[in-house]
Amino acid sequence: MSGGHSTYTPKTGIGRWIDTRMPLPRLVHDSFVSYPVPRNLNYAYTFGGILSIMLVVQIVTGVVLAMHYSAHVDYAFDSVEKIMRDVNSGWLMRYLHANGASMFFIAVYLHIARGLYYGSYKAPRELLWILGVIIYLLMMATAFMGYVLPWGQMSFWGATVITGFFTAIPLVGEWVQQLLLGGFAVDNPTLNRFFSLHYLLPFMIAGVVVLHVWALHVTGQTNPTGIEVKQKTDTLPFTPYATIKDAFAMILFFIMFAYFVFYIPNYLGHADNYIPADALKTPSHIVPEWYFLPFYAILRAITFDIGPIDSKLGGVLAMFGAIAVLFFVPWLDTSRVRSAVYRPWYKLAFWLFVINSIFLGWLGSRPAEGWYIPAMQVSTVFYFGFFLIVMPVLGLIETPKRLPNSITEAVLGKKKGTASVQPAGANASPETKG
């Protein structure tokens, strides 16, 4: 996948035999051993590896849970409780899977934030970025359908509300909703198809991940300076340097994961989902899982009609727009400089965007009443403003700092302590130990 010339030389007869027929070991060697990575990658660049392992964790625990789960409205809740009580290590499997979904999203949000901060989406990595957004979309679909499976109150009403989005579509909305539900309301057909798709989508994610990694290995990684690799001293071989660093970051991530699983496994869940689904009683306050909250706030921020578009359709459009806008980021950013490290104003805007997103998430957990509504509206305007105004305009008017000539110069300069190119923020502090 590295595109360039291969340095793989099979040492054994069997190795040569395989290499001339199906050079898989060569592919692995070129992609994950000799593949050159910029030497100045910091820990913000380890989330790709973490996400891969989390996908594996989710698939493995999910396959195991499916061995004990019954996708039927009469048995789904009971089968989950059976997993929690009777199945050997069943409670562990379920808590790993449920919290694993949240960890997956934590990692993907940090991964996306890293991409936005260091301008990883800029040419020639537009396709790489778009594939990433597709993965993110598939993840959201998978997570949503997975949350329906335990068939608790939040599962049921979450499914009702989310599929209700489609009724906002003029003319065919109702028809589309019934198509998705397989009935007039969320019921057994819905649960069955969601289970089927929840099992399928992760493998589609894995497929797109292969494309994502392929695209990455064609263009090579970006790095905190945003300067392309120019010479051999700019890079290090993937193994052992990146592998060992990724492994270390993975273990740190697993410590956090284990902390949630073993000590506060229900912290990220919702108490109402321990009540079996009841089609006649809506919980007083329904909220989606935390990772959807910012979009939920955007949905509810549109409380007014916009011309011919009523507030319901407007909310749905705004919500989908909030994700769709990510596809256009490579072209919305007009700056010639990639990394926020050299763009003081963009750096500020980025951190404001992060804070605004967290604030939106918190608003998403609030009821749509009182001052929360104008706050949601202001926050939503800022969210879109960041992509549609700040990105294009700032790129044109901002004066970037002086860029180093090469990665090697940036690294050596830092070692001598002459140039400070450290980006602000905890999750993006560059590697200085290496």
Binding site for another protein (CB under 8 A): 33, 39, 60-61, 64, 67-68, 78, 81-82, 84-93, 95, 236, 239-241, 244-245, 247-248, 251-252, 254-255, 258-259, 261-267, 271-272, 274-275, 284, 348, 351-352, 355, 359, 362, 366, 370-371, 375, 411, 415, 424, 433-434
Residues 38 and 66 sit within 8 Å (Cβ to Cβ): no
C-beta of 154 vs 317, nearer to another protein: 154
Q: At its nearest, how many Å lie between another protein and the CB of residue 403? A: 21
Q: Are 225 and 405 in contact (CB under 8 A)?
A: no
Nearer to another protein, 266 or 405 (CB): 266
Least separation in angstroms between residue 164's CB and another protein is 24
Fill in the DSSP letter of residue 275.
S
Q: How far is the CB of 264 from another protein (least distance, A)?
A: 5
Cα separation, 365 vs 359, whole angstroms = 10
- For the chain, the distance separating the N- and C-terminal CA atoms, rounded to the nearest angstrom, is 27
Give dist(CA 414, CA 247) in Å, integer. 25
Cα distances from 350 to residues 60, 117, 369, in angstroms, run 36, 7, 29
Angular region, 403: left φ>0, alpha ψ -120 to 50, beta rest? beta
Shortest approach of another protein to residue 55 CB, angstroms? 16
| Closer residue to another protein, CB minimum distance, 23 or 237 | 237
Please compute, for residue 203, the number of CA atoms within 13 A of its CA located in the half-sphere on the CB side. 7
Q: Please, which residues have CB within 8 angstroms of residue 167's CB and are 6 or more apart in sequence?
A: 173, 174, 176, 177, 312
Q: How far is the CB of 271 from another protein (least distance, A)?
A: 4
Nearer to another protein, 91 or 327 (CB): 91
Helices (H), 283-310: 293-301
The CA-based diameter of the chain, rounded to the nearest angstrom, is 74
Q: Could you give the CA distance from residue 150 to residue 289 in angstroms, rounded to a whole number? A: 14
Which residue, 274 or 328, has its beta carbon nearer to another protein? 274
Shortest CB 89 distance to another protein, Å: 4
Contact between residue 389 and residue 333 where contact means Cβ atoms under 8 Å apart: no
CA distance 296 to 316: 9
Cβ 112 to another protein, closest distance in Å? 19
Angle between helices 76-85 and 90-117 (to 10 degrees): 100
Q: Which is nearer to another protein, 202 or 314 (CB)?
A: 202
> Least CB distance from residue 8 to another protein, whole Å?
14
The smaller minimum CB distance to another protein, of residues 124 and 367, is found at 367
- The helix/strand/coil state of 312 is helix
Considering the complex, state which of residue 11 and residue 433 has its C-beta at the smaller distance from another protein: 433
> What tokens appear for 133 in the block?
């957004």
Report long-range pairs for 427-431 (Cβ below 8 Å, ≥24 apart): 427/43, 427/44, 427/110, 427/113, 427/114, 428/42, 428/44, 428/114, 428/117, 428/224, 429/42, 429/43, 430/40, 430/42, 430/224, 431/40, 431/41, 431/42, 431/43, 431/245
Please say which residue, 17 or 267, places its beta carbon nearer to another protein: 267
Query: C-beta of 141: minimal distance to another protein in Å?
Result: 26
**Cβ distance to another protein smaller for residue 148 or 236:** 236
In whole angstroms, the minimum distance from the beta carbon of 72 to another protein comes to: 17
